[in-house]
Amino acid sequence: MHGAAAWAKVPDMDDTERFRAAATGAAAAGTLSPTEAREVHGLAVAAGIGTVVLVEGVSDRVAVEMLAERLCRDLSAEGACVLDMGGAMSIRRYLQVLAGNGSELRLAGLCDANEAPFFRRGLEEAGYGRDLDDDAMTALGFHVCTLDLEDELIRCLGVGTVCEVIASAGHARKLRTFQDQPAQRDRTVAQQLRRFMGTTSGRKEQYARLLIERLDLAHIPAPLSRLLAAL
């Protein structure tokens, strides 16, 4: 593993990028010495980061950051950093890096319903409580989507608007082809749209951006609204 101090010497990174790289490297390594922990936390201090929002993937990070921008909020100026973990199963390692060793960082998060057990076990192992349910996780700052972020956005926007967004992105024909597949024919349109967004690499990130752009700010998905309100 590259030590956190090594990232501090990379000239083309800003302080927040250095922190993200160091935290990700430490989590990937699986073991963390007290010295490495101090280095990671030192990079957070250098970047002015007081809160880290842990999300599963890049599309979740895009959605949180873009929605904050639409709400005229500057998360960086507020001392918040959204950190995508590359999957919910990594939550335990990220909590080991960020929550222990005398850390003063405040942690929050967002996850899919199917991945909530990983978040729950990680939080319990990190000493945040026992037998945590969704309400207890929300109180800790970790918010669970009803299904996943795509489902939340589709329900808030409506199927018709989402289909318009897909058409404007040039994917209408691909969507029709996808819907005509035998495995999709018995699903609702909302279910088809949700699956369609995850079929190609990078598509979730693309549609996270496009759907957040179309979102009525009076009707923000509850998990996203609660997350941002608490930051």
Assign 78 a pLDDT band (cuts: 50, 70, 90). very high
Share of the chain above pLDDT 90, in %: 82
Instruction: Note the pLDDT of residue 84.
Output: 97
Residue ranges making up the domain that contains 158 = 150-214
* Count of structural domains, the chain: 2
Averaged pLDDT for residues 185-194: 96
Q: Do 117 and 103 fall into the same domain?
A: yes
The CATH number assigned to the domain holding 57 equals 3.40.50
Instruction: Note the pLDDT of residue 36.
Output: 82
Instruction: Note the pLDDT of residue 4.
Output: 55
Q: Do 80 and 36 fall into the same domain?
A: yes
**What is the pTM for the complete model shown?**
0.92
Q: Do 168 and 72 fall into the same domain?
A: no
Instruction: Note the pLDDT of residue 181.
Output: 96
* Mean pLDDT (the chain, rounded): 92
Q: Do 190 and 159 fall into the same domain?
A: yes
Helices 149-157, 159-168: inter-axial angle, 10-degree rounding: 100
Q: Do 63 and 171 fall into the same domain?
A: no
Is it the case that residue 189 has pLDDT exceeding 90? yes
Residues belonging to the chain? 231
pLDDT digits (tens, 9 = 90+) for 87-125: 999 999 999 999 876 778 999 999 999 999 999 999 999
pLDDT digits (tens, 9 = 90+) for 9-32: 555 668 899 999 999 999 988 777
Q: Do 136 and 195 fall into the same domain?
A: no
Beta strands in the chain (DSSP E): 51-55, 80-84, 106-111, 142-144
Instruction: Note the pLDDT of residue 1.
Output: 42
Instruction: Note the pLDDT of residue 87.
Output: 94
Helices 91-99, 34-46: inter-axial angle, 10-degree rounding: 80
Q: Do 127 and 154 fall into the same domain?
A: no
141 and 230 Cβ atoms separated by less than 8 Å = yes
